[in-house]
Amino acid sequence: MKRTTKAAVGAAAVLGTAFVASGEVMYQMFLKGKSVRESKRLHENSWLSKMLTENPIMAQGALWIKTAAHKDHTILGTRKKWIHAEEYPGGDSHVWVITCHGYSANVESNAAMIRIFHEQGWNVLAPHLTGHGISEDKSTSMGWLDRIDLCDWIRRICKKDPQAQIVLYGVSMGASTVMMTTGEPLPQQVKCCVADCGYTSVYDEFKTQLKQWLKLPAFPFLYAGDLVTRLHAGYSFKQASAVKQLKRSQTPTLFLHGEADTFVPFAMQEVCYHACACEEKEMVSFPGAGHVESGLVAPEEYERVVLGFIRRFITENAETTA
């Protein structure tokens, strides 16, 4: 009996160690900032690097942003972390667009849209999300902790410009970031939100990626990763849910998605749309567009839809409408 008990305890210890170890591997692979930024899988052969170099719209945006006048801002946020953002001033306009980049990407990846917003005469604030750029965080929070940082940036804009009209715009992880943010108590200066290819929750997205990338089931690997992330970062994958936040949202929201998206499955768009509690919302999809490719497959239509939606909720003066 004693041998059996010892064997059972030993087996449990081995399994427990293996469980935690697999969770640590997942955390290091998917969330550790350095791993995300330097991942060969994500960068050397990725859609992002190809678009930045081969797509004319992205290439022109990337070239423009290298010489565009901007200001760098670093503030101590509510989470007691130093957070960083780049501001592209829009003259006398009171319209502010906060743009949020995607997973493993940076401000440059949103350059094409930053340029379009800037050409409207609007101010653009482009934060470096957790675990990316020069943010203090050592790991990415997939939008969950970023929602708190965005609230800090919103308060800063409102203090600087009490007449501010703030628009939230995000792609991929940035889209989920802005959706999560709309579930927080926001000032009346926040007018609307545009979310392009956002995922329903971190749990759902990682479940998708485990299956696509590693051919692994959610159990036990996703559960192990969730446990380790709780220990390292203080949040769980299921807690980091855009859907749950959207159920509290009062911010008019435009949901965009490419119908050929498999990285963040197209089906997630409808789930997010129906979850959103705001009175004014719109859902637009783009046939043939993969992940964050809607603006590349149909650039004129994409720009028309995005700017048209935003203009429904802001008031522009003569200078910005000219």
Domain boundary assignment for the chain: 31-201+240-321
- pLDDT higher at 50 or 131: 131
In whole angstroms, what is the distance from residue 19 CA to residue 9 CA? 15
pLDDT at 5: 53
pLDDT at 148: 98
pLDDT in tens, 94-144: 999 999 999 988 899 999 999 999 999 999 999 999 999 888 888 899 999
In whole angstroms, what is the distance from residue 36 CA to residue 93 CA? 36
DSSP label at 108? G
In whole angstroms, what is the distance from residue 189 CA to residue 157 CA? 9
Beta bridge partners of 150: none
pLDDT at 22: 60
pLDDT at 27: 74
Question: Percentage of the chain with pLDDT > 70?
Answer: 84
**Residue 322 pLDDT grade (very low, low, confident, very high; cuts 50, 70, 90):** very low
DSSP string of 140-194, one letter each residue: --TTTTHHHHHHHHHHHHHHH-TT-EEEEEEETHHHHHHHHHTTS---TTEEEEE
Per-residue pLDDT at 14 exceeds 60: no
Inter-residue contact 298 to 270 (CB < 8 Å)? no
Q: What Cα–Cα distance (Å) separates residue 243 from each residue in 54, 102, 310?
A: 34, 18, 22
Entry pTM: 0.89
b/e code 18-49 from CB counts within 10 Å (16+ = b) = ebeebbbebbbbbbbbebbbeeeebeeeeebe
pLDDT in tens, 209-267: 888 877 777 778 888 889 888 888 889 999 999 999 999 999 999 999 999 999 999 99
The Cα angle at residue 56 between residues 196 and 256, in degrees rounded to 5: 10
In whole angstroms, what is the distance from residue 322 CA to residue 320 CA? 6
Inter-residue contact 98 to 125 (CB < 8 Å)? yes
| Average pLDDT in the chain | 87
pLDDT at 26: 72
Question: 31-201+240-321 has which CATH code?
Answer: 3.40.50.1820
Question: Percentage of the chain with pLDDT > 90?
Answer: 65
